[in-house]
Amino acid sequence: MGDTHVANRPHARPLYRVIWINSDALIDGAEIIRSADDREAISTARWMVDSRSVELWDRDRFIARFDTKGVEICDEAEELRWAC
């Protein structure tokens, strides 16, 4: 079972990045995370929420945002509907 984003870009490996967003809606840090696929990256990003919201990206592809209040916003792509 492969992820659609890998099939659409066969030579590009995922490069997941978590971006913390503070209460003023400003970027407050970023970290590259190692994950085998979207599911693993989403699981990791959920655990990284603290007093700041977290956005998860694969290079320039938005995957999801995890709010400090438990609100989750995900990419509208059909292959990611399971994430939220």
Q: What is the pLDDT of residues 7-31, one digit of tens each?
A: 555 557 899 999 999 999 999 999 9
Q: What is the pLDDT of residues 29-77, one digit of tens each?
A: 999 999 999 999 999 999 999 999 999 999 999 999 999 887 777 776 5
Domain limits, the chain = 17-83
pTM of the model: 0.75
Sign of CA dihedral 21, 27, 28, 32: positive
